Chain A
Amino acid sequence: VFPRNLKWSHYNLTYRIENYTPDMTHAEVDRAIKKAFRVWSEVTPLNFTRLRSGTADIMISFGTREHGDFYPFDGPEGLLAHAFPPGKRIGGDTHFDDDETFTSGSNGYNLFIVAAHEFGHALGLDHSRDPGSLMYPVYSYLEPSKFLLPDDDVQGIQSLYGPGYRDPNPKHPRTPEKCDPELSIDAVTELRGEKLIFKDRFFWRQHPQMTDVELVLIKNFWPELPNKIDAAYEYPEKDLIFIFRGRKFWALNGYTILPDYPKRIQELGFPKSLKTIDAAVSNRVTGKTLFFTGDKYWSFDEEKQMVDKGYPRLIMDDFPGIGEKVDAAYQRNGYIYFFNGSLQFEYSAWSNKIMRVLRANSILWC
C-alpha cells in the first residue's frame, strides 16, 4: 500500500471513460475496463458504477507524452500507463499511454491486464516485489479468461478495505516460497550451464556465478508455453531443451521455440494411452533419455530417436528406494537427482544406489 495507507473513504466508487484508444472498439474497451474493476470488487466491499458525464472518482483516459499531469509518457514501449492513489481531483485517475497498442488479446498490451494493475493503484495499492502478483511493476501477459487475482494482491487490497461478500474464486494463486520445507517441484532442467527449476507458473533461474536464484514467470520467457509444465530436460548436443505438458512437448533453443512444435509425445514412440510425462532426464554418457510416468519409466535413444526395447520398466526395479513416482529429475556429475514430493534422492549411476536423501528445496540453496 502507499505511504499513509491512502484509500477511499466511501465504497461506492464511480468511474468515467473520458476517451478511447483507436486500437480497439469502444465495446472492447468498455468490456476490458469493466472486467478490470470486477477483479477488485470480487475481493472487497467496493462497488464501481460507470458515469457517462461529469466528474467521477476514477477518471480514465488515453493520452500520449505530456498529457496534462506533469508525468509525461515516453512513446511506444517503456511506460504503458499510470494511476494516482485515492484522493480528490486527480486522485484515482488512470491514464493509458496511447503510443502503445492496446488489445483484447495477447498481441500488443492486453488492456484488461494493464487496467486491472492500474486500478490497483487507483484503489491504494503500491507496487509489489512479488513477481507473481498483479501489482508487480513489469507487464506480463495473462490469459484474461483464466485470470485469478494472486493472493499477494488480495492480501494488499483487503488490508485496506476488508474482504468482499462474494469471492467466486477464493483459491487465489500464491507465489511459491523457495525455502518452504514442503516445497515440491514440477520439473528441472539444465540450460547452457544454468539450472531451471519449475513450479506452477514460475521457474527459478540458478546461475553458478549468481549468489541467489531468480524467480521468473514462465510466460515472461516463453509466452507460448503453458502456465505449468510436467517435465523438462536438456539435450546439450543440439543445444536444445525439451518441455513437456500433457501430451504435448516443445523444443527450445534458448528463448526460441523451434518451428513445428508443439508435437505430441506419441511421435517419440510412446503409446497412445500415455497422457503425461512426469519427469525426464538425459544421460550424456549413455546418450539415453529416461522418461518417467506413473510407477514406470522408459529409455529413449536420442541418436536413433526411438524408445529402447524392453520398456517400460518399473521404477522400483531399477531405482530402488526413490519411491514409486518421480516429480522431476536432472543429472549432474554422474548422479541423477530424483524429486518426489518434498524430498530429493541423489542416485549414483555408477553404483546404482541412493547416496543421499535431501530436501527438495536444497536445490535452491535452502
Chain B
Amino acid sequence: LPVPHEEDLHVTDKDLRLAESYLRTLYVGSDQHAGIMTKRRGNPLAAKLREMQAFFDLEVTGKLDEETLELMKQPRCGVPDVGEYN
C-alpha cells in the first residue's frame, strides 16, 4: 500500500493490515478494473484505495494518508461499497 512520505505520519503495521483488509473486503470486484490498472500501475490495492477515496469524497491520492486511515477506522456496515457479494 503506498504511504505518503511525510515523516510525521506513523502508519503502523496494524494500520496497514487494517487498510488492506478494509479494501479487500469492501472494494470487491475492482480487481477486474484493477486488471487494467495493474498493467498500467501494477498495484490493485492502490486502485482500490483510489476507489475508496473517491467514494468518500476524499482527495484521491492513491496513498494511505491520515484522512483516509481515519475514515477506515470508523465503525461501518460490512456490505461492499464497490462490487457486491457473489
Name the A residues within 8 Å of B26 (CB-CB).
137
Name the A residues within 8 Å of B21 (CB-CB).
74
How far is B83's CA from A2's CA once the two chains are assembled, in angstroms?
Answer: 9
Least distance between B15 CB and chain A CB atoms (Å): 13
Which residues in chain A, 285-329, are within 8 Å of chain B measured between CB atoms? Answer: none
Name the B residues within 8 Å of A138 (CB-CB).
71, 74-76
Which residues in chain A, 54-101, are within 8 Å of chain B measured between CB atoms? Answer: 71, 73-74, 77-85, 97, 100
A74-B21, A85-B85 known; A80 vs B77 contact (CB < 8 Å): yes
How far is B77's CA from A78's CA once the two chains are assembled, in angstroms?
Answer: 8
- State whether the Cβ of B59 lies closer than 8 Å to any Cβ in chain A: yes
Name the A residues within 8 Å of B25 (CB-CB).
71, 79
- The size class of the interface chain A forms with chain B is 20 to 34
**B74 in contact with A212 (CB, 8 Å):** no
**A82 in contact with B75 (CB, 8 Å):** no
- State whether the Cβ of A210 lies closer than 8 Å to any Cβ in chain B: yes
Please give me the residue from chain B that is nearest to A209 by CB atom.
Answer: B59
**A2 in contact with B57 (CB, 8 Å):** no
Name the A residues within 8 Å of B56 (CB-CB).
129
Interface residue from B57, B74, B76, B79 paired with A129 (Cβ < 8 Å)? B57
**A137 in contact with B76 (CB, 8 Å):** yes
A138-B71, A214-B57 known; A82 vs B84 contact (CB < 8 Å): no
Which DSSP category, helix, strand, loop or mixed, fits chain B's interface? loop
Name the B residues within 8 Å of A48 (CB-CB).
none
How far is B71's CA from A109's CA once the two chains are assembled, in angstroms?
Answer: 17
How far is B14's CA from A74's CA once the two chains are assembled, in angstroms?
Answer: 14
**A78 in contact with B57 (CB, 8 Å):** no
Least distance between B26 CB and chain A CB atoms (Å): 8
Q: Mark A123-142, 1 if CB is under 8 A from B, else 0.
A: 00011010000000111000
Least distance between A147 CB and chain B CB atoms (Å): 17
Least distance between B33 CB and chain A CB atoms (Å): 14
Interface residue from B59, B73, B79 paired with A210 (Cβ < 8 Å)? B59
**A83 in contact with B79 (CB, 8 Å):** yes
Least distance between A103 CB and chain B CB atoms (Å): 13
- State whether the Cβ of A118 lies closer than 8 Å to any Cβ in chain B: yes
- State whether the Cβ of A121 lies closer than 8 Å to any Cβ in chain B: yes
Please give me the residue from chain A that is nearest to B55 by CB atom.
Answer: A129
Interface residue from A73, A126, A129 paired with B78 (Cβ < 8 Å)? A73
Please give me the residue from chain B that is nearest to A95 by CB atom.
Answer: B78
**A121 in contact with B79 (CB, 8 Å):** yes
Interface residue from B18, B71, B79, B85 paired with A127 (Cβ < 8 Å)? B79
Name the A residues within 8 Å of B31 (CB-CB).
none
Name the A residues within 8 Å of B75 (CB-CB).
77-78, 80, 100, 109, 138-139
- State whether the Cβ of B81 lies closer than 8 Å to any Cβ in chain A: yes
How far is B21's CA from A195's CA once the two chains are assembled, in angstroms?
Answer: 34
Least distance between B71 CB and chain A CB atoms (Å): 7
Least distance between B35 CB and chain A CB atoms (Å): 18
A3-B84, A85-B84 known; A211 vs B77 contact (CB < 8 Å): no
Residues in A lying within 8 Å of B, measured CB to CB: 2-3, 71, 73-74, 77-85, 97, 100, 109, 114, 117-118, 121, 126-127, 129, 137-139, 210-212, 214-215
14 A-B pairs, CB-CB below 8 angstroms?
A3-B84, A74-B21, A78-B75, A78-B76, A79-B76, A79-B78, A82-B78, A85-B85, A121-B77, A127-B55, A127-B81, A137-B76, A137-B77, A212-B59
